[in-house]
Copies of this chain bind each other. A is one copy, B any other.
């Protein structure tokens, strides 16, 4: 019954916590993603229900070249970091990041309570991601992310 409605929190957490290479994958500790869109068999975009425990971050701060991204805060007060600085968010707030705009973003949970939000991103072919704060770059090849140092050398 893939088409039935379900409580979002009943959808299992993604098995692989992070696709980043180390040392970046370990920095995603405390982040849990429930792939809501995948659960229903959606292909064109992903919708994740993501939980950040205190101290966790959503991702390395990044900007996509092809993928639009959008977040909607359901619970807790994360801090949004962009090229313009930091902003404290509240439940009911949202933010969008158009592909190619170069505004690198992530969320951090700097509070003592869990943060819960919806994140949406499409799956345009030929995407790449830039990480202004880290020695990392990523290109999508055949649906898989390929991560390298900024000089193009691979991570182990």
Contacts and interface: CB of A to CB of B under 8 A. Distances in A.
Contact of A101 (B3, B8, B67, B94): B3
Interface in A1-35: 1-9
Interface in A65-117: 67-68, 70, 72, 80, 82, 84, 87, 89-90, 92-99, 101, 103, 105
Interface of A: 1-9, 36-37, 39-45, 47, 67-68, 70, 72, 80, 82, 84, 87, 89-90, 92-99, 101, 103, 105, 118, 120, 122, 124
A24 B97 CA distance: 34
Contacts of A37: 68, 70, 96
A47 B98 CA distance: 13
Contacts of A97: 3, 40
A71 to B, nearest CB: 8
Given A93-B8, A94-B8, A103-B3, A72 B118 contact: yes
A39 B96 contact: yes
Given A68-B45, A118-B118, A124-B44, A36 B94 contact: yes
A45 B68 CA distance: 8
Nearest to A41: B98
Given A47-B120, A72-B118, A95 B42 contact: no
